[in-house]
Amino acid sequence: MDVKVEEIGLTASFEPLVSVCMVTYNHERFITQAVESVMMQETDFPIELVVGEDCSTDNTREILLELQKRYSDRIRLLLPERNLGPHKNFRSNIKASRGKYVAFMDGDDFWTDPLKLAKQVALMETEAAVRICFHPVSIVDETGMPSGRLYPISSHRRIRGGLKDLLDSIACHSAIPTGSVVMLRAVIPEVPENFDKLLIGDCPYWVMALGSGIVACIDEPMTAYRQHDGGIWSSKTQETQFEAELEFWRAIAPYIPKGLRGIGWGRMRDCCEKWFSMVPSASRMKMLRIAFSWITVSLQLGKWNGAQFRYFIGRIFPMLPKLFRRGTNTP
């Protein structure tokens, strides 16, 4: 059933060059800083901020209504009558965007450079082949205090290339930070709704959109990524994050050219190795599920080569009898 979404602000005649898509839920402590960081952008082109407020149980919506009154010429609010969930809220925001380019941001992060959009748009306007432009982010704590760490790691911040380079970066756990991205709206894909179960919800957009285009990085931190207990990703255990990566590769495999699927296989093997070292030996059913997940996702990523077959024989196969053996261990 379709959910009714009330829209407040900016008429249909307004034509921004950049739409900033922000999704938010229960971000009352952070949302003002997030919005103000977009409003401080210095550009010689029009922008709009499209905020999908997903029926927060705190005062996020009330705060946004006041901010929209203050910046009525630049802010458009999307207010669903009931909670959509992060993936549907993200899609709703993208669908509502009007700009030639779309920038992304979560309501608990904030931009730190007033020229962020100007720099990224200038690069993309100059180089038509660039479909996605991103930059590193500074990791901050709940109060906004910098940790001194940047993401992605330095060896993947100078990425400039095609789909293989993007997949290499994701496989090395250096995915593109959502809050850093500016993207050509015309190439944003219709991501299948069955992807809604994925914890990693943004990477499928980058992979499916890039095609024969280029992803480019400006090696300057211009966004603060906030780690806190309520964060969708940062609040998860390492084990849950590894499992989410495997599910990502399972879902995205059909959309990766066969010649590049081995990149995902290598990362998935690394995830499984870490699982095997993290999961208690008593968790027999969990180990069994992980082992079979590895097998099924490996097959989805293509025909096994010698290295994959040797890994199965040497690492996975010897484990199966132990997992099926009767004993006192319980899941």
First to last CA, the chain: 38
* DSSP-assigned states of every residue in 290-305: HHHHHHHHHHHT-S--
**Residue matched to tokens 């911040």:** 157
pTM assigned to the model: 0.84
Q: Are 251 and 194 in contact (CB under 8 A)?
A: yes
pLDDT value for 324: 53
Please work out, in degrees rounded to the nearest 5, the angle formed at the alpha carbon of residue 230 by the alpha carbons of 149 and 22.
80
| 226: its two tokens | 């906030």
> What is the side-by-side order of every strand in the sheet holding 47-53?
5-8, 75-80, 47-53, 18-24, 101-106, 182-184, 130-134, 214-217, 160-161
Give 321's Cβ-side CA count (13 Å radius).
3
**Regions of the chain short of the pLDDT cut 70:** 1, 153-158, 173-174, 230-236, 238-239, 264-331
pLDDT value for 328: 39
Give 146's Cβ-side CA count (13 Å radius).
11
pLDDT value for 40: 98
pLDDT value for 261: 72
SS3 179: helix
Any bridge partners for residue 138, and if so which?
150, 224
Q: Are 248 and 194 in contact (CB under 8 A)?
A: no
pLDDT value for 197: 86
Neighbours of 330 (CB within 10 A): 8
Phi/psi-derived region of residue 297, left when phi > 0, alpha when psi is between -120 and 50, beta in every other case: alpha
pLDDT value for 241: 75
pLDDT value for 326: 40
pLDDT value for 274: 64
Pair type for strands 223-226 and 110-111: antiparallel
pLDDT value for 115: 98
Q: Are 19 and 102 in contact (CB under 8 A)?
A: yes
pLDDT value for 304: 57
Closest by CA position to 123, among listed 114, 133, 115: 133
The Cα-based distances of 305 to 261, 279, 299, 310 in angstroms read 12, 28, 11, 9
Closest by CA position to 242, among listed 207, 206, 279: 279
